Structure 1
Amino acid sequence: MKNRFVSNILLTFIWVALTGTFTLANYLFGFLLGFFVLRMVTLGKSEAKYFRIVPKVIAFIFFFLYELIKANLQVAYEVMTPHYNMTPGIVKVPLDAETDLEITFLANLISLTPGTLSLDVSDDKKVLYVHSMYIKDRESFIAGIKNGFEKRLLEILR
């Protein structure tokens, strides 16, 4: 997987050097072009994990950005309006994540979104305690974390 990633980065730099345009858009286009070239070169060979992971990472980045913008707008609205819409609380989120790395990434992603904060992990690493400013329904809040951040994160890390 590391060799394919390095090859993809190398192809990206070759593309940027050939075009002479050093913009973010050109780097991204070069990366995508390199990805598809590598995919075509390895077509028919054993399925490489790299070609499954990269689209999931890109989708995860867009999902995280969407959640980040949504949470920022929600908190900004709360700050700017005179009435109190918050329903704060602490929720026990059961974990499918098992390793320290998976749990740490999940806890940090939750804490990075405004309005939520990871507080603690149980001693047996089966439960994550999360504080949120907006808990209207505990079950839907837990499902949002499990089907959102945790599911997508585990697809990448496993």
Structure 2
Amino acid sequence: MVKQFLMNLLLAFTWVALTGTLYFSNFLFGYATGFFLMWVMNRNEQDHRYFNRVPKIIGFFLYFLYQLIRANIQVAYDIVTPNFYMRPGIVKYPMNARSEIEINLLSTVISLTPGTLIIDVSEDQKVLYIHVMYLKDKEQFIQQIKDGFERRLLEILR
């Protein structure tokens, strides 16, 4: 998988060198073109992890960006309006993530969204304690994290 990633980067930089313009959009176009060419050439190969993970990484990044913007708008709206809509609470979140890197990345992504903060990880590393600023329903929040961040993150890492 690392070999395919490095080959894709080489193709992207080759594209940039051939066109003679070093812009981020030109690099992304070269990367996408290289990805497509590599995918066409390796369709009959056994190892498709790289071609499965890249779209999942892009999807995770877009989902995270959407959640980040949504949470920022919610916090900004609460600051601007005269009424406070906060309903703070602490949620005990049972994780499917088991390794330290999975737990660390999941807790970092959750903490990066405004209105949530990781308080602690249990001793057995099966539960996260999350402080939530806008908690309407605990079960809905747990399901949103489980179906959103955790599922997408574990699809990339496993």
Per the shorter chain, which TM-score range?
over 0.9
Q: How many angstroms apart in 2 are the aligned matches of 1:45 and 1:143?
A: 37
Which segment drifts farther, 109-118 or 22-31?
22-31
How far apart are the structure 2 equivalents of 1:43 and 1:91? Answer: 45
Match of 1:131 in 2: 131
Structure 2: give runs of 5+ residues left out of the alignment: none
Query: What does residue 156 of structure 1 align with?
Result: 156
Q: Secondary structure at the match of 2:92?
A: strand
Which residue of the partner structure matches residue 119 of structure 1? 119
Equivalent residues in 2 for 1:1-158, closer than 5 Å: 1-158=1-158
Aligned to 1:125, what secondary structure does the other structure show?
coil
How many residues of Structure 1 are paired with residues of Structure 2 in the alignment? 158
**Residue 48 of structure 1, CA deviation:** 2.1
- Normalising by the residue count of structure 2, what TM-score does the alignment of the two structures yield? 0.98
SS at match of 1:139: helix
1:157: Cα distance to partner? 0.3
Question: What percent of counterpart residues are identical?
Answer: 55
CA deviation after TM superposition for structure 1 residue 41, in Å:
1.3
Displacement after TM superposition at 1:22 (Å): 1.5
Which consecutive residues of structure 1, in runs of 5 or more, have no partner in the other structure?
none
Q: TM-score, normalised by structure 1?
A: 0.98
Q: Which amino acid aligns with 1:25?
A: S
Extract structure 1 runs of 4+ deviating beyond 4 A: none
Tell me the secondary structure at the aligned position of residue 83 of structure 2.
Answer: coil
Partners of 2:63 and 2:78 in 1: CA distance: 23
Q: In 1, Cα distance between the equivalents of 2:40 and 2:46?
A: 13
Distance in 2 of aligned mates of 1:106 and 1:69 = 18
Distance 1:73 1:130 in 2: 20
Matched position secondary structure for 2:98: coil
Letter in 1 for 2:38: L
